[in-house]
Amino acid sequence: MGIGVWSVDIIGYTIIEGNQSPYDYRQTHPEVTVLDPPDAIQHLRNRQSMLQAVADMDLSASYGKVGVPRQLVIKRDASSIPDAVAKSGLTLPLVAKPLVADGSAKSHELSLAYDRYSLQKLEPPLVLQEFVNHGGVLFKVYIVGETIKVVRRFSLPDVSKRELSRSAGVYRFPRVSCAAASADDADLDPGVAELPPRPLLERLAKELRRRLGLRLFNLDIIREHGNRDRFYVIDINYFPGKC
């Protein structure tokens, strides 16, 4: 990978993080080569639209199946959340994520809710996502054009049925991925540590490049604990992430 790719990527990242209009930036810096269209990058700032491409794809092959956790968007009115959750049939616990993910610390403050009433304490707009047990390890997949690199990171631990039945409330957690250590050299259960099959990642990356119209991005993918072939994409970021 040439240095050029990285420098252009960092410029793209600055556009997104800096609250500056990408269009203004293009006008004032005609010398800059824009590798990925600003509109497509913007698409990843909204946690609902960022996962839509994966949901539409419904990727299922002999080596595995990739989806997104079931989720519900709450635009306003926190008091409506308990009913909305009951109607949707989402299963607790739920991860609550600010709808907009713009790189600010606040937009990456997530909460884990053990009961639906406590969710009223949170501030919409939010995405409520089913928590998928995944053995406490996630895979970060970096996509640079045709190249794919995968690393393991420690993640949130599983929530047992017993723990769920005994717990209530919402627990806020800071930007997990920033604090998460690499799990690449850890002594892990092989069923948890096994990387997603290469052909699956290649197909996913190829389809996402086409559907998102992007060449530089990374995604967080988890394997449902105890289900070797079942994967969920939980997050897609424009590349590179801060963490």
Question: Residues interacting with Mg ion, by CB under 5 A?
Answer: 177, 220, 235
d(CA 69, CA 54): 11
Per CB under 6 A, residues contacting ligand ATP are 69, 95, 97, 101, 108, 110, 129, 131-132, 134, 138, 155-156, 175-178, 220, 234-235, 237, 241, 243
Q: Residue 141's closest CA among 64, 71, 240?
A: 240
Q: Which residues pair with 61 in a beta bridge?
A: 64
223 binds, among Mg ion, ligand ATP, none (CB under 5 to 8 A by kind): none
Say if residues 126 and 98 touch (Cβ distance below 8 Å).
Answer: yes
> Closest CB to Mg ion among 9 and 220?
220
Q: Are 228 and 6 in contact (CB under 8 A)?
A: no
Q: Say whether 139 counts as a known binding-site residue.
A: yes
Is position 108 annotated in a ligand binding site? yes
Query: Nearest approach, Cβ of 165 to Mg ion (angstroms)?
Result: 28
Minimum distance of ligand ATP from residue 240's CB (angstroms): 11
- Residues with Cβ within 8 Å of 229's Cβ and at least 6 positions away in sequence, in order, are 63, 64, 65
Question: 82 vs 103, which CB is nearer to Mg ion?
Answer: 103
> Which of 77, 243 has the CB closer to ligand ATP?
243
Query: From CA 215, how far away is CA 205, in angstroms rounded?
Result: 9
DSSP-derived 3-state class of residue 107: helix
Is 45 annotated as a binding-site member? no
Q: Output the smallest distance, CB 234 to ligand ATP, in A.
A: 4
- Comparing every residue's Cβ against Mg ion, the nearest one is 235
